[in-house]
Amino acid sequence: MRDCLVVAAGGAMGAVMRYLVGKLPIGDGNGFPVKTFLVNIIGCFIIGLAAALAAKQLADSPRAVLFLKVGICGGFTTFSSFALETGGLINKGAYPTAAAYVIFSVVLGVAAVFAAQFIADSLF
């Protein structure tokens, strides 16, 4: 039960952070889902950092890992929104924008995970 509460607390924080990013006055009206894109890349970076820390600094604290990876990142990242928005772009016939969105999200998301792990390995 404690694990569920830890995940719930992290999930609430991640969801609120996601909501606040959605309120930022950026990218409105340009056709590219900038806010979801940023959340996905930042979320990938955070989960990469959390995974690296879990292996080194948090190995004795599985609840901290749950809080970060499952809770915060699970509440913050928005791949369901990503899929919905990509489908919307495709439905509108905005194929180049949809393709760019998918490619950049996946490539930069994976790169952010590796960058975070590299940084964590260098610092810790």
Please count the structural domains in the chain.
1
> For position 54, what pLDDT does the model report?
83
Confidence (pLDDT) at 49? 87
Predicted confidence (pLDDT) per residue in 70-89, tens digit: 899 999 998 888 998 999 99
Tokens of 109: 């998301």
78 marked among binding-site residues: no
Which two tokens mark 34?
């900038």
pLDDT at 85: 94
pTM of the model: 0.79
- Domain extent for 98: 2-123
Residue 77 in marked binding region: yes
CA distance 122 to 1: 35
pLDDT of residue 65: 86
As a whole number of angstroms, the distance between CA 23 and CA 6 comes to 26
Low-confidence ranges of the chain (pLDDT < 50): none
Please give the Cα distance from 62 to 8 (Å, whole number).
Answer: 15
